[in-house]
Chains A and B, each alone.
Chain A
């Protein structure tokens, strides 16, 4: 277990040395700052506006970007090792190949959590500077639970990017495939909701919010337990493919 933790530490060190993560924090800050300026000086010029509401807006604007960012990180964490040849350096150590993959996946999850925390921090800080510290319709806990409920969606497409990277070693493919799945297939598949096999697809089972808010269910007879089961099956199959292929393949 200690060895696994040190592998995760390594992944963390590599990702943060590559600058992409710090750059993303800077990027979120700049976007939020622009948003704050526009809202303060143009939209809510003379009205009070809650800093909590602003945080919610920041989350709304950044969530799609974060989703793409995590896909890129998930793909690069594999493809960069092949591109630089460092994959050989990792695989000639005592760590098993499964352990190497798992340490990278845990690292992706940690990055996502930190990005969400940074987003909240930037939202609240800029909100407190530009807007009014007053209560809002939306509560801070709602934003946090909204982030938590987006995890299954973000992590699924991250795993798609990761698996594609293991299979193809191609950064381009590993980013395009999950993006097409998410925004082309994922958003148009709803037209097939009348089909009997619709409920077996991953797409209607990615959004677990209706089970907590009482919104319209994604399909007839949908339940939280059913969605979790379908989600788990898809995740385990993707993970299984990654591990089997990664273990079996000779490294040239």
Chain B
């Protein structure tokens, strides 16, 4: 725990007021002579800097004494509080720059520095004081360093006094003996916060455990609360009442709470009636009211309707505070400082656990907090002591045993753990962690503390869980009670497992201690049974073990823990992390290995062993409580003990999940064999539906088995084909699916396999694979084309063959051409029609090879098919005009190759000229035409050409006219632009001085009116004219500039 060491002491006679300035490490003290002494904390001692003798005498005030000092860093001001005046002193030299006179007298002052936003350094400073003669509060507000305004608000009751105040986002929160008020910014009245409520359920594990304990004790002792407390000490009675407060029934609660309240009042015979301290721990969203008057801890909340209310917390803090205290000061996080005449305490404010406890011989007058782990104690004998507090482990046991009166040893152990956990959390998260750590290597020591906190937290959680189970057992697992107290149980278990997740609790320990026996027995038994390297001890069940947890909680709490821990362990397994993972806790980053997840006696356990334990437990939890997740779990990488999983799934007829498991582990033969055996075991016709279902499972499985197991796939597909009537469907479902698995198959093997059953279907398979997977495999294409050629008489096959060669982009044209040529050569006995069709098909690979002339030659010369040749030429022409014109020209040459006598009877020439005449140059066509060509033949063509040419000429003329018009318009625009400017030539001379105009751009010219004419002159000359005209009263208009001239033109 913490110990405070006195590191400096000095004495000042008759201390009246004191002030700590943590921001500048200064201490200011005022003595009875009104001398102001300034000290600076240098390392571990105070150094006297300066004394301002009888300061008040030198100030502009009639006051005779300074009662208190306050400091605002943002306006560098020290406020000296006197009887009726607050004097504003410059903090650097204590010179007065202003004062505030309050005729009602000043009771107490507070100063708040509020930063506007986190991103700027703009501060708002509020000086708040209460008055003596009237219950009034006054606030003076500065924005930045500028004073802005003053607001007064009256308190509600006569003689009501403010006890504590805190600036919050909405305004200032003020406590008095009569209640809590909020003074909203810019409003001149206080809002009393009347509404006090409490959480429907505690959010703390320990409080929830106590609540659950009370519920169970009440149940087990016949609903007689008196019996519960009858044999307890006074302090334990109080403790019991505290537990009773949080019973879920609000009606009951009201009564009990009132009684409890009176009990508290009755017990409370101290005089801490002036402490209702408001503070805001940095880790909390809301301010806390530490209320000695009602002996409660309250938290300010804001509802959805923006109404404020106080939330009453279950706490044991005041049970341990049986002394009077002068004052409370917030230190850091959840720790507050309390002091009275002879003792100083640092306590965790919610439970009252002491973190520091010191007594002093002198009577304490005041304690001031400094920056860092230091405080200043001022005694009544006017000694000023500087203390430094640090962590000292050796004090742990002593303080705890002395401070707390526990019901049982178990309570003591639990509370001791709890306190230690809270202390180490404070230690690690404190702003001053490094400063309070006594070590030559504080960083390393803090890492060790984090590990210690982890151990303590895990043990605490396990103890809490043990107690939770104990209470459950005490009510003999009464279902009604369990159901009614579900929420409390949820909080206990949920918090335990949240902590297990945060602290990476060792899985073996957690599972052994918390897993319900229905699951753990199974997991352990099976792991022990099936583990090859048997470690019976590792998998042995703890004695007398009867854990029972509600299923909802197991799913809600255990599963995330198991998932999270397996994630960390898997990360360790991943080679890139090199066996390390970083555990982040309270801002620390500590590298951990697999050892972190092991307990001392299982050092031989490997990563896989741990993963097996985790995943098998996870499987069992899913199996028992959420079967829907078994499928997803088994489909992803997992280490669940295979035999355990298979055995469970088989036993429960979960076939789909079973084959998912087989599939994930690559045991395809086992999966298929299992399904086959299952199928064969069913014989009755009544079970046909089930048998069909199993066949579908087999087919579905075969479809997804990777190609490495192709022979296995064939074996089982063959078996299915033997017993199932719709063979085509089976083959399609197994092999012809557009999936990555199908894409990775050995196509030729599959083709051969299918062909052995159905040749036609085998061709379909090739068609499917080639088109779906865009295959360029020559062998497959060859097989497919040969299959087509073998059935060329079939119109449907012809169509497919044509379509394949015409539209497919993936085949190798030379290869296909060779197949076609070979087929034609070898198929001389083939039907002529088929042979011609094969010839025709050659145009598709030729097209890809850009052998257009050859294509046209085949179609036109060999097959005498003008229409197809024309179609081919047009297709080429549309795609590529130049390439098209070349093949069209070739086409014409082939047409004209006919004997000369036939030219005038050749209709192809007429068709050609009609279709392609406009696509070739007329002169080229005419040159190629034989001399004996009848003019009638080309008459229409020529007329069309003339007409087309005329139209083109007309279009060109029209375009020329339009361009000329555009030129005129553009020229006109240019002239207008020119006319707006006057170009001064080198030869131009000024009309006044007869000198040339300078070409330097720095000189200016002006346009002036001389005798009714506009002339360009030097600007200086223009001024001369102007002066001359004004003297001679000649009415020369104002100096005209080029700009004016332009305006005039416009």
**Are both chains from one complex?**
no
A residues apposed to B, CB below 8 Å: none
B residues apposed to A, CB below 8 Å: none
